[in-house]
Amino acid sequence: MTANSRCSAAEPPGLETQRREIESLLRECELRVGDSWYVVEHRWFEQWKEFVETGDQNSPSFPGQINNTELFEDLDSYHLKERLVENEDFVLVPAEAWHKLQAWYGMVDGQPPLERKVVDLPSTLKVEIYPVEVFLCLHSNIENVITAEFSRADSILSIQKAMCQAFSVPSSSECRLWIKSLDSSCERLRNVHMSVLDACLSSGMTVIMETRNADGTWPSSRPQIMRNSAEEQDSYRGQPGVCGLTNLGNTCFMNSALQCLSNTPPLTEYFLQSSYLEELNFTNPLGMKGEIAEAYADVIKQMWSGRHYSVVPRVFKTKVGHFASQFLGYQQHDSQELLSFLLDGLHEDLNRVKNKEYIELRDADGRPDQEVAEEAWRNHRRRNDSVIVDTFHGLFKSTLVCPECHKVSVTFDPFCYLSVPLPVSKERVMEVFFVSLDPYAKPVQHRVVVPKAGKVSDLCSALSEMTKVPPTQMVVADVFNHRFYKIYNADESLSCILDRDDIFVYEKREQQQQQEEEQVLLALYLRERSHYRDYGSGSSSYGTTLFGHPLLLNVPRSSCNEEALYKLFLQRLARYVRLPDPSEELEEEEEEEEDGKEELYKTQTNGVSDDEEQEDAEKARPSQTELCCGDTPANSQSDGNATVEPNPDLNHVTLEHLDLTTNGSQNQTEPLGCANATDCVESLDACRDSSRTSDTSSEPPAEQMPQPCKVTEEEKEEEKLEQACSPTVLANEQPAKRRACRKKRKSLFTIQAVNSNGMTERGTKDGGSIVSFSSQPYVAIDWDPEMKKRFYNENEAEKYVKHTSMEVPQQQTTVQLQECIELFTTVETLEEENPWYCPVCKKHQLATKKLDLWSLPEVLIIHLKRFSYTKFTREKLDSIVEFPLRDLDFSACLLRKNLSNGEPLSRYDLIAVSNHYGGLRDGHYTSYAKNKDNGQWYYFDDSKVTYAREDQIVTNAAYVLFYHRQDQIRKPTLPAPDDITSCKAEDTELGSAASYFNMETE
């Protein structure tokens, strides 16, 4: 065989030339990451070297075709043998040398070239002889597995392309890869531009590829969809983009923001066309590793697949909470705050700038605005370049003026949305109920105008003009659930009173200057006793329920005893509490009739049972019982020898010792004894000894004295109580005499000392209860259900009248969007919390600041600042902002008047609105949006979607507005739906979706 016949088709150069060229390449070629080198069997290479050194083309040492057979385990798989050693089993030649040798000598048929890559291993560059061997399969067919080898320097994208080719997946399909480790755990390969080495992909792992479903979901994470059957969901074909979002629990704020962004055409088309895949930025330290962008893309593709009534954005919600802890959990949040985070997160995840350079910002220093603006925008784009910047970013001019040296600082700053203030009224309309001292006058509802930053005293002054009652004789209280939620001081701010609070203003008696006796402001609650003991509370007392409207009345301290209070309360409730007729029998029943019922109406003060009272009273010292049951004068001795009068309580209800102090200081205290203020108590006083210490001027005539009667079990219990309260008086008193005094009238109600919640508290000292009050005492009158039914007129108690001020319709405040924009560009002084550092004065100054619009983006987001937070007030402004649906013209607002040729116009059309209903502490978010394909407006309320008319969109709930510049708006590609014309838009649900949606409220 001749030399020529031994060679490949390419005519090789001379042997000396071959030797010189290959040796030069081997000597000069350096290892560079990613370069290819080739493995050549050592024996063949040594024979080639011997051949070229002979210089004889006909030498018997001719090597023949390149043959690596000795390097393979078998010739079927062509797997390399394990533990091959360089320069013993093989040699490495650079790619250029390999191509020359292959061209000169050819290769044994069927053998693959052993190409290997240079990889950057820790602390060294090395040609990897053994690549990573992985198993490849599709998510849809896990059983069909193939084996492939990849260099550690290869990108994940190269694996994806190899899999698409191996499994005949169209290159246009959107794919994503997962790696399954030897321990069966799976992890997503998010960054397809990452190398195999950086992705920690090693031999033996399985790479699984999935392709996106037609409905926008992924096979590995298809969300649960609300449907009646799989067939219905799979067969559903709706208008793309007209898709609800399930409320996961207070996530309406997120759903509203997503619907507005979903109906922003340039952004949605960017994601639907999968343009984001090429721009995912996994290395940006300010980003979210591409996860927010991918999660958002998944939601958008599902919403615009046209195959869902509603999508469950659970994965997106989880990602948002992971990267923004303020959105963790399921509390209500602000849709604009979520929108701000999302736009910033998408921008950083899709930022085309991989390495941000440091740029020092320069002040204008007298340069022309045009020059400074162009420089600022150019610098901004050098660090920020994404679809978000392309679509939403504009530029405004900021001018700061030092109040001291008058230094003017001008900068141009980018913005993503405009937060414009609403004109705030300095006045506020409040609705209150005025309760007169006249017991027969019904409460009157008034509507008053007060300063928004005013005090409670301003409310009293405004009400005084209508009622002619001096403001000093008014007490303002918030009534909630039949009790006083708060009683306000005159100097408290009105900002702590919400519009929805029920505010009552009570008239109190004028405090005469010559009047020496102190007046006590008493809070009165109404309670109804249940027929059964409240065993569930761990107490043997009867349960009580608050009802009706509480009252505030000032009482002389001397009248703070049960007898006087009973009469006073009867007088105060005269409008709706009927006094018993003389003919009506309200006497206590005798033993024969009441033997089975006597326990039913017994109650105890503070939940202490009768036996406990008896036992505790026996242990009590005289001085203790005097404090509990006697009206002891200030100069009396407490040595146990003083004589006190026992005042029997018909129903065993005692008004415990009221520690009535004023302004928190301890004053002379006059206890309220155990007396029950009824006619029988007064008649009983006449039967008693003369050893009493209280005033006897209120005793009734003798003809009102009850006649002797039989003794009941209840009376026996009262005897025990009286003996316990005052043994020195009752020890020698004859039972017959006392029984004769027992036939008496029954009281309409009993009086009990309570706390501010209307609850009777159990005491802890000496087995009894001592209720201590500071500046505001509370008492309750307890009604037996039968007595309440007979003598308390519930309908009359609830009646009120409306003042003429209520007839004047409240004017709904309306402002124009243009006014809000003008306020945005108005000069303002910086707040103390945010001063500006003046470079001339070398200190922080409260400079004046003015913002002006310089350039506007393609999509302009306008945030209406409805939530106002200041030092003094927190409120939501419900003003109607009238905003145009078409032709919003900013030409008058732009600082730059002369636009060069080709620059966009400044006219905008509305495309979406985020709405907020409710107040500061609660609320619900919805949205209106215009579909880019058919031009129809829709109303999105979580998972419920309905048609909307244009005249429904402008409301006082509008919170965030989305405008699209007219020169970028494309005409709808589909006609408007036909069925909307045949019925009312507000009642039209989309297709048969009504059976699948339940409106979720918060």
Q: Which are the catalytic amino acids?
A: 252, 924
What is the distance, to the nearest Å, from the Cα of residue 346 to the centroid of all Cα atoms in its chain? 22
Name the H helices within 360-417.
369-383, 387-392
Contact yes or no for 212/173 (Cβ under 8 A): yes
What is the distance, to the nearest Å, from the Cα of residue 113 to the centroid of all Cα atoms in its chain? 62
Which helix (H) or strand (E) segment holds residue 186: the answer is: strand 186-189
Q: How far is 264 from 388, CA to CA, in rounded Å?
A: 11
Which helix (H) or strand (E) segment holds residue 97: the answer is: helix 95-105
**Comparing C-alpha atoms, which of 44, 66, 48, 47 is closest to residue 114?**
66
Contact yes or no for 546/727 (Cβ under 8 A): no
Burial grade of 749 (CB within 10 A; 0-12, 13-18, 19 or more): buried
Q: How far is 407 from 844, CA to CA, in rounded Å?
A: 13
Taking the CA atoms of the chain, what radius of gyration do you get in angstroms?
45
The length of the chain in residues reads 1002
Q: Give φ, ψ of 279 to 5 degrees.
A: -115, 5
The three-class DSSP label of residue 145 is strand
Q: Give φ, ψ of 435 to 5 degrees.
A: -110, 110
The first and second tokens of residue 236, run together, are 């559903």
Q: What share of the chain is helix, strand, coil (3-state, %, to 5)?
A: 30, 25, 45
Q: How far is 567 from 686, CA to CA, in rounded Å?
A: 19
The first and second tokens of residue 432, run together, are 């209150």
- Show the beta-strand stretches assigned E in 857-957: 859-865, 867-869, 874-876, 880-882, 888-889, 907-917, 924-930, 937-941, 944-947
Q: How far is 878 from 299, CA to CA, in rounded Å?
A: 32
The three-class DSSP label of residue 309 is coil
Look-up of token digits 């984001």:
276
Q: How far is 590 from 592, CA to CA, in rounded Å?
A: 6
Q: Give φ, ψ of 625 to 5 degrees.
A: -70, -30
**Comparing C-alpha atoms, which of 965, 940, 992, 988 is closest to residue 241?**
940
Q: Give φ, ψ of 563 to 5 degrees.
A: -65, -45
Burial grade of 843 (CB within 10 A; 0-12, 13-18, 19 or more): exposed
Q: In terms of DSSP bridges, do strands 907-917 and 924-930 run parallel, antiparallel, or are they unpaired?
A: antiparallel
Sign of the torsion formed by the C-alpha atoms of 974, 975, 979 and 985:
positive
**Comparing C-alpha atoms, which of 476, 452, 453 is closest to residue 463?**
476
42-54 vs 15-28: helix axis angle to the nearest 10?
130
Contact yes or no for 552/521 (Cβ under 8 A): yes
791-811 residues labelled b (16+ CB within 10 A) or e (exposed)? bbeeeebeeeeebebeeeeee
Q: How far is 251 from 1002, CA to CA, in rounded Å?
A: 9
Contact yes or no for 908/842 (Cβ under 8 A): no
